[in-house]
Amino acid sequence: MADDLPAGLVMTDVKADLFKSMGHPARIQLLELLADGPVAVSRLRDTTGLEPSNLSQHLGVLRRQHLVVPSRHDGRLFYELACPEVGELMGAARSLLHTTIRMNLA
- The residue among 100, 98, 83 whose CA lies nearest residue 18 is 83
Task: Provide the residue ranges of all domains of the chain, joining segments of one domain with +.
Answer: 11-105
Length of the chain counted residue by residue: 106
Q: How far apart are CA 81 and CA 85, in angstroms?
A: 9
Question: What would the pLDDT profile of 54-89 be if each residue is shown by its tens digit?
Answer: 999 999 999 999 999 999 999 999 999 999 999 999
Secondary-structure class of domain 11-105 per CATH = mainly alpha
Mean pLDDT over each residue of the chain, to the nearest integer: 93
Residue 76 host element (H or E): strand 76-81
Please tell me the pTM assigned to this model: 0.86
pLDDT of residue 5: 66
Give yes or no for residue 18 having a pLDDT over 60: yes
